[in-house]
Amino acid sequence: MSRVLTIARVVWLEMIRRKDLYVLLILLAALLMVLISVNVYGLGSVARYVKDVGFLLTWLCAWFFAIGAAGRQLPQEEARGTIYSLLAKPVTRIELLLGKWFGAWTIAVAATAVFYLLVMGVTHLRGGHFVSGSLIQAFLLHAVNLGMVTALALAFSTRTTYGAAASLTYVTTLASFVLAPQIPVLLTQETGIRAQALLVLYYALPHFELFDLRQRVVHDWGAAPWSMVSVIVVYGILWIVVFLGLAWFGYRRKRFSRGAQL
């Protein structure tokens, strides 16, 4: 466990040096300031409007940051040749994978917490308020969602370059978020083999939309039943285990050649 935490700490230090978080934070702050100053259609002063757009931007920034943080870890170690010194130490490949994932996930969650605080601050400037229960649940499920995204990006990166891993993760997560909720509607219009294929796709894709409680926070609907939230958390943890298992399966026997640039 100590080796996993050490690797995760190195991930944190590296991401802080890269300053990606600062760029996204400044960009989000600038967009929010423009949002409340331009006052499009007279909605700039409406706290609910600010919350809605602010949390949408938060999800997008967290999505980009998480995929970038996790997808580059293994390819850059291999490209630099530092993978040899890592594996030459008493560090197993599963420890390396867990450390990289845990570091990428925790820094993505920390960045998301900063994004949430920024949106909350801007909303309060407009006289808005939050229901604490729904806000806590939204952040919790968002954190689990980021665990799934980082694990998936890490799994893709075990056999591809950083660019390919990031692209595959963007496409997979976006397709799952947008397409999966529409499959039940499509099933009412299809029969036979097409219906069966859609059903298989529905159960095979991870349902990222389950973790999105933005509308409950924006419209002050109050907290959801904790029993339901707990089921979604367990569902997310199972997918994290699946993705990390795929990452280990793809990395456990991978051979490295010195001088290879990934």
- Structure confidence by residue, pLDDT tens digits, 183-221: 887 777 777 788 888 888 888 889 999 999 999 998 888
Is it the case that residue 259 has pLDDT exceeding 60?
A: no
Beta strand segments in 86-144, E: none
Interatomic CA distance for residues 211 and 214, integer angstroms: 9
What are the distances in angstroms from CA 207 to CA 96, 173, 191? 27, 9, 23
* pLDDT score, position 45: 47
Q: Residue 153's CB: how many other CB atoms inside 10 A?
A: 30
- The answer to whether residues 103 and 8 touch, using CB atoms and an 8 Å cutoff, is yes
* pLDDT score, position 148: 97
Interatomic CA distance for residues 121 and 128, integer angstroms: 9
pLDDT digits (tens, 9 = 90+) for 109-168: 999 999 899 888 888 877 778 889 999 999 999 999 999 999 999 999 998 899 999 999
* pLDDT score, position 35: 67
Taking the chain, what is the end-to-end CA distance rounded to the nearest angstrom?
A: 29
